[in-house]
Structure 1
């Protein structure tokens, strides 16, 4: 698949912080899906999946722990996520 364009992804509200003191959190991990124009981005304890062509948010999940690494399976639509849990 060749991507002709990729939209700017608005990550301002993806990290879960709200209010006047809220500031954008920086993404620290990303995974691209090989079979579709989809990108998953880790922001804090959240994983947000976007349509890379339109910039639309597809799904969001709060894992409750910081994401270390992510990768999509090359043969299925599953994503593997490694998290860091500190007791």
Structure 2
């Protein structure tokens, strides 16, 4: 059976955040990303989900300070 990519939408008060699940990722992966978002979105208001960086490695979630310094990097699942 061929697995396809999926999208999950979660609501956090007035925000709707879409989390992608790639075919090779386990089913819990988007839920783990949503949990990390829920835990840290107040502490890091600039948190982003699956944002592309000019780097070899890509975080599941990240946040930058207002001066452009990375202040939060999160990976869920196997690293």
Shorter-normalised TM range = 0.3 to 0.5
More strand by share: 1
Pick 1 or 2: higher relative contact order, CA cutoff 8 A, min separation 6: 1
Normalising by structure 2, report the TM-score.
0.35
Higher percent of residues as helix: 2
The normalised TM-score by structure 1 is 0.33
